[in-house]
Amino acid sequence: MEIIISENPAEASAKAAEAVKMQILAKRSSVLGLATGGTVIGLYGKLAEMCGRGEVSFKKVSTFNLDEYVGMPASDPNSYRSFMEKHLFSKIDVDRSNTHIPDGCAENIRAYCVQYENKIRLCGGIDLQVLGIGSDGHIGFNEPSSSLGSRTRVKTLTEKTRADNSRFFGGDISKVPMHAVTMGIGTILDSREILLLAFGEGKAEAVARMAEGPVTATVPASALQLHPNVKVFLDEPAASKLANKAYYKYVYANKP
């Protein structure tokens, strides 16, 4: 796990965007796993700028999003399809037919989850997965106690997650759905490369437990310690509780 600490979210997002760009330049038909939430908005803005300047093209790229709320149609302003359209897809040259977001309104949701996994496999697997991290250490909507080998499925959201996400619903937790379709931890770990972004002091404890604590289902993100190619992009506040913070900075400054 490579931990990259920047002064602020803008600098960290720019570094993460460069990593995504390099992946696409190396493989024009890259398969990207994408996340939603406030943390990745800066990253998507940087990617849109790069595309606008002609530095990178998404024409042959395929995307798979991590999750979607159960019962929420794609047309809903709070859906993750709407989020992706607003913050990324409408600003780049991606082919919409190559963008995949879980269908929270599927008639047979369990069968649909299996189909989503199959789609990923048929595309050759995810080359690079973008992640955020919840304040309780969840990735995707894999809440604490999730199996570290789990696949795409429906999860019940904790009150903490619903409270954190209520800011997107006018601050009303009652409007935040109780369930979501999410890629599993096992699905995420199948990705060839993983980029995780975390900003702000509110994520510091989760980041420290993810990177320096034991691998445990209580902190789902700690499973990333088992992956051979993870880059973690942090700002100073998010890195504030890392015991080995100085070492991570030293390693990054002296990369071979």
Cα separation, 237 vs 241, in Å, equals 8
Query: In Å, how far are 39, 109, 119, 143, 172 from 197, measured between CA atoms?
Result: 7, 29, 26, 18, 26
SS3 call for 9:
helix
In angstroms, the CA 194 to CA 33 distance is 9
Distance CA 254, CA 145 (A): 37
Q: Please state the φ and ψ torsions of residue 101, each to the nearest 5 degrees.
A: -130, 135
C-alpha dihedral sign at 188, 181, 214, 165: positive
What residues have CB less than 8 Å from 255, skipping those under 6 apart? none
Cα–Cα–Cα angle for 190, 11, 65, nearest 5°? 30
Give the CA angle between residues 28, 199, 152 to the nearest 5°: 55
Structure-token pair, residue 97: 């037919």
Report the chain's terminal Cα–Cα distance, integer Å: 16
- List residues with catalytic annotation: 67, 136, 138, 143
